[in-house]
Amino acid sequence: MGDDIRPEEIILEIYRQKRRCLEAGKKPDTVVLTMSHHRLIRWYHEILGSLDGPVPDYLQKETIFGLQICIDNNAEIEVR
């Protein structure tokens, strides 16, 4: 994925990969992102604001969709 990726595309890619893992019977617990991707989704989340109510927000301090966020500036987005 290129540097011109939109935050929505990053979020969608993480969700897509997580769903594929779950459908394959795997239990992913980590997502690898570059620092620039991480900053971009944090910025986007700040713009949108947090979700209120009983449903947990997709982005927490150290997780997205319940996956631990790991930073690797030499990696593509990868759910493991």
> 10-60: per-residue pLDDT in tens?
999 999 999 999 999 999 999 999 999 999 999 999 999 887 788 788 999
3-state secondary structure of 78: strand
Res 1 pLDDT > 60: no
Res 9 pLDDT > 70: yes
Q: Which residues contact residue 42 at a Cβ distance below 8 angstroms, ignoring those fewer than 6 apart?
A: 59
Q: Rounded to 10 degrees, what is the CA torsion of 56, 68, 14, 61?
A: 50
Write down the pLDDT at residue 50. 80
Rounded-to-integer distance, Cα 2 and Cα 21, Å? 23
Write down the pLDDT at residue 3. 67
